[in-house]
Amino acid sequence: MAAATPAIRSPTASPRDWLVPLVLFALLAAVPLLAKLGPEGFILSLMTRVVVVALAAMSLDLLIGYGGLVSFGHAAFLGIGAYAVGILSSHGIEEAGPQLAAAIGGSVLFALASGVIALRTQGVYFIMITLAFGQMLFFLATALSGYGGDDGMTLPGRSLLFDRPWLKGDAALYWVSLAVLGAAYLGLRRVTASRFGRVLRGLKENEIRMEAVGFEAFRYRLVAYALAGAVAGVAGFLLANLSGFVSPAVMSWQRSGDLIFVVVLGGLGSLHGAILGAAAFLLAEEVLSHYLEHWRLVFGPLLVLAVLFARGGLVGIGRGRGA
């Protein structure tokens, strides 16, 4: 009976829907070549951070843009992924496989445990509960004195791949991060275009109607929450390797707020909008901080204006849907 409802009909994809992502990934793929024209190490480090933040923001877009779930504790999953690398490295486990498994497994378990409670609520209550769980994990990390506590911990080195330091070079880490971003984009795009994704969008539009025809909102949202957490955990794994340092700050509510803003800036419900948002956010931050001492006083109003006058985000501007 549920499959017959018109509420989950899939929108027809057009070639234009793939044009922007293809151009975007082509530009990202050209970064290592263009970096040779300037300070290569700095450019690669900055753009790797853009890719990692884009991966985390894309996972959050699955919740906000497709599911209507505004999570204010999403950076907690970044922290779980980062601490999986830091804690295992401190015990001599430097292989990427176990670290990545711990990052994904820990993120999924936390998503399921917190989601069982948070997803029983809606609106501002959901926002506050996810914030509470995120801060709970933040203070837990602060209390882990054996792993640096509030000061954080420095990693002995980047993760090993098959017992070899393949990620040691900045270019290698960038290519791996970009490959992960591309795989995650294709995977999430497939998910959102599937029956599961259509149900998720249907629940966002009209939950009562979807439940009336047989779809259980809680189950679908919990799976989406766990999936988003897993992807963000992978982003945390990459972030730890990029910075070589892990601290509770990576999972603070401010980082969660940044991720929400990146998603809104890029454009809700587009996935590649999260990539555009991450690039615009971090590059603007870098440029302004280079020229102004109190750059946040300028950066803040610029971001607010971007959200107010670009209602569809950067993706919406490209489609002619700005204010």
pTM, whole model, 2 decimals?
A: 0.90
Handedness of CA 24, 57, 262, 251 (dihedral sign): negative
H or E, element range at 270: none
pLDDT for residue 4:
45
CB 249 within 8 A of CB 83: no
pLDDT band at 319 (very low <50, low <70, confident <90, very high): low
- Rounded CA-CA distance 313/317 in Å is 7
Per-residue pLDDT for 1 more than 50? no
Per-residue pLDDT for 306 more than 80? no
pLDDT digits (tens, 9 = 90+) for 200-231: 999 888 888 888 888 888 999 999 999 999 99
User: Higher confidence at residue 271 or residue 2?
Assistant: 271
